């Protein structure tokens, strides 16, 4: 089952995002659950302001556990995290 994880960063947290990025990317690779992912960008200057992650998991609970163990989340980068079932059409 696919899930979208939509994360929004705290204001002015680009430095925290960049300092944790290598750990986050390593976690993504090692867990092997991510179908695709990328940063959300601000309209003004295209700074990274959040993340959109599509993962394959057995349940929403497992997607939540994955999200909680993400180094970005553990570092306190996100002000909000929302998880929804996702249906790939195209």
- CATH code: domain 2-86 is 3.30.70.1060
Q: What was the pLDDT predicted at 57?
A: 97
**How does DSSP classify residue 10?**
P
Q: What is the pTM for the complete model shown?
A: 0.93
Convert the pLDDT of each residue in 27-84 to its tens digit.
999 999 999 999 999 998 899 999 999 999 999 999 999 999 999 999 999 999 999 9
C-alpha R_g of the chain: 13
DSSP 56-75: E-SSHHHHHHHHHHSHHHHT
β-pair type (78-86, 34-41): unpaired
Q: What was the pLDDT predicted at 78?
A: 98
User: Using an 8 Å Cβ cutoff, are 2 and 88 in contact?
Assistant: yes
């Amino acid at each position: 089952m696919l899930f979208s994880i939509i994360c929004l960063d705290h204001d002015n947290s680009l430095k925290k995002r960049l300092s944790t990025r290598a750990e986050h990317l390593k976690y993504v690779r090692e867990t092997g659950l991510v179908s695709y992912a990328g940063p959300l960008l601000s309209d003004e200057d295209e700074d990274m302001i959040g993340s959109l992650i599509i993962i394959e998991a057995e349940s929403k609970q497992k997607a939540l556990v994955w999200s909680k163990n993400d180094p970005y989340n553990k570092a306190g980068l996100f002000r909000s995290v929302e998880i929804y079932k996702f249906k790939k059409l195209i």
